[in-house]
Structure 1
Amino acid sequence: MATIAAAPPAPLVDRPDPGLDLGALIGILRRRWQLIGAITLSVVLLATLTVYQLTPRYAAMSAVAVQTQKTQVVDIQDVVSDMAPDTATMETQASILRSSALMGKLIDRLKLDQDPEFNPAVEAAQGNFDLLKPASWFGERQQYKAPVEPLARARERTRITQRVRKAIEISVVPRSYVVEIRAISEDPEKAASMANSLADLYISDQIEAKYEATRRASGWLEERVAELRDQAVAADRAVELYRIQYGLVGGVSGGVDSQQLSEINSQLILARSERAAKEAQLSQVRQLVAGGGANIETSGAIIDSPLIQRLREQESEVVRKLAELQATYGERHPRIINATAELRDLRSKIGDEVRKIAASTANEVSVARAREGALSSSLSGLRGRVGASGQAEVRLRELQREADSTKTLYETFLNRYKETREQVDVQTADARIIAPADVPVNAAYPRKTLTVGLALLVGLIAGAALAFALEKLDNTVRGADLVERIGGGSVLTFVPIVSGKYENPEDVIIERPQSMVAESIRTLQGALSLIDVDDPPKVIMLTSSVPAEGKTFISTSLARVFAQSGKKVILVDADMRHPRLHKALELSNEAGLVQVLSGKGQLADVIRKDPKTEVQVLTAGVGAPNPADLLRSQRMEQLLGLLREHYDLVIVDTPPFVPMTDSQNVARLVDAMLLVVRWGETPAQVVTNTLRQVRKLGVPFTGTVLSQVDMDRHAQYGYGDYGYHYSKYGAYYGAKA
């Protein structure tokens, strides 16, 4: 038996996944566009139906500016100071706008507690029509009745307030002093009214808060002023009574004794000075008198005497005359004698006058000493009386200070009370409305166009994500590169799916010889012929990894193609467990390979002819007790040797290679083994396990055939094998079937 040494299958190498490039991503989108489109359309339709079922809501917005400067109506200090619009203050104002107090005022002003939008109990009481409630078919409009119990009323009020608060959005515009009020309602006019009313209530609340604070301050000041007035009067009365009691007049230090003490003390000081001056003058005069009148001009008292001055002038005149006479006459001349006598007389008078001045000065010294003694005696008496009244003055000064402090505090509170009373009716808010809300024209929710657009985007993303996920989860064999990567050798051909109406798909080779299916089988024929041109394989087996891979179809079609080319071909069905070859060729299976191998029949008797070609057929037969033993027997080897001698080509259709050993027993007897893999159905891991078993047994593995290939989808994967070109040039090969 001649055999052809076929190349062993490529080693199984776990190559890294090259990942998805741009072309691969586009290919996935092309292949899964129907799934992506279906998901996108579903999401868009669902979103559209949902959007158009929702009740439209309208949003109206008003804006309030917190003023950094306040209009000063009167030039007095406010009881409530102006706000400093920093971040904390702006957030505080926003919280005030969200407060339950303002929400309650808004509910009361617009009667939102009677509005079904915010109080579902009103709608229920009115008995609106409901198809599922027959009682509402003839319903009469009822008057809503608020709960009577306080707890029930409080709960209902809380629920209404919460709904109203949810319908109003308060936000502070960044880097500004503006607070925006956005009200949402089913009624556009109601939305505008809510926004404007809340802004107006906020302004009014500020004015009321200031008015109330000023009013309370004014009332407190009025009471405090009355108390301070009584205290001031009482303090003044205490000062005056104390002053009268102790005879303290003229102010805090105005006692009579104190004044006299001060005056006498001053007089005593002057008297002492005067006495000291007189004593000094007297001592000087006495020294001059004792000195004989020399240097008499040095005494102030003598110099100040008019008489002495005149005498001194006369003395000078006589001295001058005497000097002139002495120059003319002698010492005994009468005129010189008279002049000398006159000079002596003048000097005697001056001496007498000096002595008088000395006596007068002595008298003045005595008087000064007496006056000093009297003043000193008076001062001693007054000091005793003033010492007694000093303690009284201390207490008086204390009372006076208390009285002055009380009066100052009273005047301060009185002035502030008058200012505050003037402010009660003059209050301005620290905010103003800068943008009243207009009635919205378009609904803010739902935003139909945006929602549908987003749904379209979400649908596309979801569809693409699902497509990528399915692509990643798809571990089936779809291309020659994957077959080669897992060790499946070369892909000898791609057999397309048979389309069209045929009683048996195998007849496409005969009825449509120019079809892509027929061309793919001829491609396999050529590949087998080129394995060894000089000695091509004569015994070829076809197997698969799992059932329903298309082995029988390819075996039958390959045998018919070889027969059409003039070869003498026999087709053997070695799948004794699930034979199908006789059904494909419409032959009887009463006797076949089982009978030949078991010795119950002759080969010539069981061989049949294909009704439509010259192919000889050996069906599987029936009644095989143990197919593996028959295929492993010596008879099987002898049978194949006999067929090799009488036929140009023997094609053996075998069952799946694992887990049964039927195909493994046949593989050691053939020249070439082809592995049939169903495109897009057989997992790559299953094929890998089969190839591992093939390598382990060392059978003549030739290559792989991809069967039932969807050429259009295969082209979408962008593979560069010739299966890709089948789809592009299908018109060249004829009909796809």
Structure 2
Amino acid sequence: MTLDDIDLAALVRILLARWKLILICTVIGTSIGLGYALTAPKTWRSTSRVLVDPRDKQVVGQGITLPTQGTDPAWVATQASLVTSEATLGRVFDTLDLGKNPAFAGDRETALRKLGELILVERADESYVLDVSVTSNDPTLSTRIAGALGEAFVASLVDAKADAIRQATQLLGRQIDDLRDKAREAEIALQKYRTDNNLVSASGRSVDEERLRQLNEAYVTAGVRAQEAKARRDRLAGAVRRGGAEVDSALQSVDSGVLSRLKIEYALAERSIAEMARELGPSHPRLQAAEANAARTRSLIVDELRSLAATASSDYDQAAAAEAAAKASLEGATDLVNRNGVAGIRLRELENEAKVRQDMYASFVSRMEQTALQTGTQISDARVIVPAQMPIRPYTPKRTLAVMLGFVAGFGIGLTGALYRGRVDLVARPARTVPAAADEAEPVAETRPARQAAPQAPA
């Protein structure tokens, strides 16, 4: 039977004829839905919305926020799993003192498992927002647990970062102890090598090198003094050799207080002689006395030059001897440094090793201080953006949905019952009419030729 075989008018007549059955089933279904909505146990859901920030935030350091930790869904799922972790649930259990609540009777493990069954964590719209929902039979309890759970999750992230820093600090402490021991061993080995090889240092250099430097400076100084003494001796010797008319030029090349005073006296005597020569005759006693005074001054100058020349010669001899002695000492110290060259190479290796270990030790100490400072200055990577609110209406049962489902179920059952009871009329009536018409049509078509042929038989 197809749809064309069903008489829709008859179907409507059947449903109208049994409207009471449909109405009764609909009323019963709706009543059952309403009764369930009114008598079913109520549950209440409270939600706390938490934002997880993928950027690592800290107070100590160059920046408040560090690069993103992760942006994929797996990272968000990991953060969501931390909400229902045992540490977070334990914090909520202790904060709210749920051990006194009959709903969480039993040992701590059982109570935490019951608490976890009340919690649902969902990611909101592919974002970094987590909806932490708690469903229970008590609206106040749901609100308290949802609020405490959000705060506990935020605090647990801080604790996790602080624990990681404490572990890093402990690891750095062990490394520092090892580096301290190695640096001490390197310093002891360096000092022992210096003592064994007579390479005691002064101002960062070995004694031999320092002594070589000092002797070299002394040799250079002695050479300069010898050259200056020789130059002074040569100037004075030349001045003595020139003497007489060249006294003025000799005085210009010699620095002496006595010669300067004698030069002034000689100049005054020369000027006096020139003035008297213009006024007096060449045989005048005063002119002759002035000339005698000038000659005596010049003689004193020559004597002083000779005395200075002798002193300069003696100074030069002493300076030359000091230069020779400084040169000999320098050559001896140079030979000693050259002989200790291999020891110096090993010494420098030990010094470099000791310095490297000291630098590493200082670097680790500084890093541990910075790390330890971060322990109490951590900022959570999550925050509660919507605190848990007291629910206004129950989460389950859904009264409107229950009544609608009861209505639809009752109405469907009523229709099904009506159609089932009227199925005979719906199917039998077409079977009596349509096939009969077909049977009547066929004999007509078959007998029509026979009626036409009947009159020909008598003929």
Give TM-score, length-normalised by structure 2. Answer: 0.65
| Contact 1:181 1:199 survives alignment (8 Å) | yes
Distance 1:575 1:632, change over 3 A: farther
| Contact 2:199 2:208 survives alignment (8 Å) | no
| Contact 1:63 1:178 survives alignment (8 Å) | yes
| Contact 1:261 1:382 survives alignment (8 Å) | yes
Tell me the residue number matched to 1:62: 48
Distance 1:319 1:201, change over 3 A: closer
> Which residue, 182, 188, 195 being the options, matches 1:231?
182
Shift, 1:346, TM fit: 3.1
> Which residue, 325, 330, 339 being the options, matches 1:388?
339
Does residue 628 (structure 1) correspond to residue 425 (structure 2)? The answer is no
Shift, 1:576, TM fit: 9.7
Q: Report the secondary structure of 2:122's partner residue.
A: strand
Q: Report the secondary structure of 1:366's partner residue.
A: helix
Tell me the residue number matched to 1:168: 120
| Contact 1:235 1:402 survives alignment (8 Å) | yes
Give TM-score, length-normalised by structure 1. Answer: 0.43
Distance 1:52 1:433, change over 3 A: farther
State the identity %: 27
AA at the equivalent of 2:262: L
Q: For each residue in 1:236-273, what CA deviation from the matched residue of structure 2 results, as whole angstroms up to 9, or x when unmatched?
A: 32232222222333446444433332222112111211
Question: How many Å separate the matches in 2 of 1:427 and 1:347?
Answer: 96
Shift, 1:454, TM fit: 9.7
Q: Report the secondary structure of 1:181's partner residue.
A: strand
Question: How many Å separate the matches in 1 of 2:120 and 2:441?
Answer: 79
| Contact 1:302 1:357 survives alignment (8 Å) | no
Distance 1:46 1:243, change over 3 A: farther
| Contact 1:252 1:396 survives alignment (8 Å) | no
Residue correspondence of structure 1 range 247-646 to structure 2 within 5 A: 247-251=198-202, 253-293=204-244, 296-299=247-250, 303-411=254-362, 413-414=364-365, 429-433=380-384, 435-449=386-400, 548=437, 577=443, 627-630=447-450, 632=452
Q: Report the secondary structure of 1:331's partner residue.
A: coil
Shift, 1:331, TM fit: 2.4
Q: Report the secondary structure of 1:437's partner residue.
A: coil
Distance 1:240 1:336, change over 3 A: same
Q: Report the secondary structure of 2:306's partner residue.
A: helix
Question: How many Å separate the matches in 1 of 2:170 and 2:362?
Answer: 17
- CA RMSD across the alignment: 5.4
Question: How many Å separate the matches in 2 of 1:395 and 1:281?
Answer: 49
Shift, 1:451, TM fit: 7.1
Distance 1:355 1:86, change over 3 A: same
Instruction: Give the number of aligned pairs.
Output: 403
Does residue 246 (structure 1) correspond to residue 66 (structure 2)? The answer is no
Question: How many Å separate the matches in 2 of 1:343 and 1:209?
Answer: 107
Q: For each residue in 1:73-119, what CA deviation from the matched residue of structure 2 results, as whole angstroms up to 9, or x when unmatched?
A: xx867xxx9896875565542243366886799899979xx989xxx
AA at the equivalent of 1:97: V
Higher helix content, 1 or 2: 2
Distance 1:632 1:198, change over 3 A: farther
Distance 1:333 1:391, change over 3 A: same
Shift, 1:376, TM fit: 0.8
AA at the equivalent of 1:319: E
Q: Report the secondary structure of 2:340's partner residue.
A: helix
Tell me the residue number matched to 2:79: 93
Question: How many Å separate the matches in 2 of 1:76 and 1:453?
Answer: 60
Q: For each residue in 1:184-241, what CA deviation from the matched residue of structure 2 results, as whole angstroms up to 9, or x when unmatched?
A: 4566566446534643553464355345434433443443343333333323322322
AA at the equivalent of 2:289: N
Q: Report the secondary structure of 2:333's partner residue.
A: helix
Q: For each residue in 1:43-74, what CA deviation from the matched residue of structure 2 results, as whole angstroms up to 9, or x when unmatched?
A: 999788568657565322123355799998xx
| Contact 1:97 1:198 survives alignment (8 Å) | yes
| Contact 1:311 1:350 survives alignment (8 Å) | yes
Distance 1:363 1:110, change over 3 A: closer
| Contact 2:44 2:135 survives alignment (8 Å) | yes
Question: How many Å separate the matches in 2 of 1:104 and 1:44?
Answer: 50
| Contact 1:61 1:438 survives alignment (8 Å) | yes
Question: How many Å separate the matches in 2 of 1:374 and 1:191?
Answer: 101
Q: For each residue in 1:397-455, what CA deviation from the matched residue of structure 2 results, as whole angstroms up to 9, or x when unmatched?
A: 44344334434444554566677778778977544556553453423345343676799
| Contact 1:252 1:397 survives alignment (8 Å) | no
Q: Which of the pair has more CA radius of gyration?
A: 1
Q: For each residue in 1:265-320, what CA deviation from the matched residue of structure 2 results, as whole angstroms up to 9, or x when unmatched?
A: 11211121122222233333444444455554455785423333333223222222
Structure 1: stretches of 5+ with no match in the other structure = 1-31, 117-143, 145-152, 458-544, 550-573, 579-623, 637-737
Question: How many Å separate the matches in 1 of 2:441 and 2:362?
Answer: 125
| Contact 1:90 1:172 survives alignment (8 Å) | no
Q: Report the secondary structure of 1:440's partner residue.
A: coil
Q: For each residue in 1:592-633, what CA deviation from the matched residue of structure 2 results, as whole angstroms up to 9, or x when unmatched?
A: xxxxxxxxxxxxxxxxxxxxxxxxxxxxxxxx9x52214545
Question: How many Å separate the matches in 1 of 2:215 and 2:91?
Answer: 83
AA at the equivalent of 1:359: A
Q: For each residue in 1:483-538, what CA deviation from the matched residue of structure 2 results, as whole angstroms up to 9, or x when unmatched?
A: xxxxxxxxxxxxxxxxxxxxxxxxxxxxxxxxxxxxxxxxxxxxxxxxxxxxxxxx
AA at the equivalent of 1:168: L
| Contact 2:236 2:254 survives alignment (8 Å) | no
